[in-house]
Amino acid sequence: MSTDTLQADTLAAIAAAASPEALEAVRVSAMGKSGSVTALLKTLGGMTPEERLVEGPRLNGLREAITAALAARKNELESVALNARLVAERQDMTLPVAPALTGSIHPVSQVMDELAEIFADLGFAVATGPEIEDDWHNFSALNIPETHPARAMHDTFYFPDADAQGRKMLLRTHTSPVQIRTMMTQKPPIRIIAPGRVYRSDSDATHTPMFHQVEGLVIDRGVTLANLRWTLETFIKAFFEVDDVSLRFRPSYFPFTEPSVEVDVGYSSKTGKPAAAGDVDKWLEVLGSGMVHPRVISACGLDPNEYQGFAFGCGIDRLAMLKYGMNDLRPFFDADLRWLKHHGFSAFDVPTLSGGVGA
Ligand code: DAH
């Protein structure tokens, strides 16, 4: 077969190939290991230099023409296939969502939104920090030195290797390191809450290896325990949507606060809600707090003689369980659609103080 006929036949076959598979078959029969064009190219080796001078450019021209035609046809076929898919997979975005497909807002997300709403009204901003923390922010700066027993209490997940700067890395065991990050980057007065995920190697009906906390921090001149008490009372009343509440401050110990208190909320079993003093018949512990330790303030480069403050830390999952009546923590993270459907919130239940923060 002459080179010209071969070229014409192959180009015709390429143009006629109606699918990527058909095109590939043409490519193999021409350019494959034992293809017709490949066989012709191989004959160059046996030619005299004079013959090669004439045949070389001709055969290379043939090869280039076929290669170019193959690529062009491949492009064409691909855009035809893409257009067909775009037409076939077209969605009508104006159709209403099928009810079975509607997601819900997880109770933890809902409670975080409620917290942000309540504290925004008190002048608090929302702060965040990394979940992968270094040892200094999670412990040392919070007055928990290397040898401190509180480090063992936290059941920390450590990373096997130090980071590029040689720092020991871990999954933060509490949201308290956000206090440090905030004090190191912002000037007082500081008023923040920091909701987020925390991690501890612990698992049973009331503990999961990942859970949620909210941290609160106020730093200013002349802050006292009375300011803490008022803030917590205001928060608990707004969160549980009750007019009156009784709080019990129990002396406690946290390395990063002095004095430290644990706060119990007085409950009425009759209403299942926090209640005023006369109606209280049981106490539930809801948070840890205290006046920020002077050592923590100076670790962040502030003068503890000038600035004081209070901090608190509270489990968000526990708040959600108390407010919305769930008694097992584990299903929070099981991703069971039936549970989510039952306990989840509509995306339209945006918490507002005027409408009530509860949905
Ligand atoms: N970080 C503590 C914990 O995870 C909770 C806590 C207690 C936070 C007292 C505070 C605080 O800010 O003042 O157990």
- Examine residue 295 and state whether it is found in any structural domain, yes or no: yes
What are the pLDDT digits (tens) for 272-299? 888 888 899 999 999 999 999 999 999 9
Ligand 1, atom 2, lies closest to the CA of 313
Are 283 and 163 in a shared domain?
Answer: yes
Please give the Cα distance from 301 to 298 (Å, whole number): 5
Are 64 and 153 in a shared domain?
Answer: no
Are 142 and 167 in a shared domain?
Answer: yes
Are 174 and 290 in a shared domain?
Answer: yes
**Cα 328 to ligand 1 centroid, rounded to whole Å:** 23
311 in contact with ligand 1, CB cutoff 6 A: yes
Domain with 82 in it: 3-88
The 8-class DSSP code of residue 169 comes to E
Q: Is the peptide bond before 259 cis (omega within 30 degrees of 0)?
A: yes
Are 51 and 156 in a shared domain?
Answer: no
Task: For residue 42, count other CB atoms closer than 10 A to its CB.
Answer: 11
Are 56 and 145 in a shared domain?
Answer: no
Check pLDDT > 70 for residue 179: yes
- Examine residue 354 and state whether it is found in any structural domain, yes or no: no
CB distance 141 to 300 below 8 Å: yes
Are 58 and 154 in a shared domain?
Answer: no
Check pLDDT > 70 for residue 144: yes
Regarding pTM above 0.85, the answer is no
Please give the Cα distance from 9 to 16 (Å, whole number): 11
State the pLDDT confidence band at 358, using cuts at 50, 70 and 90.
low
255 in contact with ligand 1, CB cutoff 6 A: no
- Examine residue 179 and state whether it is found in any structural domain, yes or no: yes
The mean pLDDT value for 309-313 works out to 98
Are 123 and 261 in a shared domain?
Answer: yes
- Overall number of domains in the chain: 2
Q: What is the DSSP string of 288-357?
A: EEEEEPHHHHHHTT--TTT-EEEEEEEEHHHHHHHHHT---SGGGGS--HHHHHHH-B-TT---BTTTBS
Last residue of a domain, one of 88, 115, 143: 88
Please give the Cα distance from 295 to 122 (Å, whole number): 27
Are 208 and 288 in a shared domain?
Answer: yes
Are 27 and 159 in a shared domain?
Answer: no
- Examine residue 97 and state whether it is found in any structural domain, yes or no: no
Are 63 and 113 in a shared domain?
Answer: no
18, with CB counted inside 10 A (0-12, 13-18, 19+), is exposed
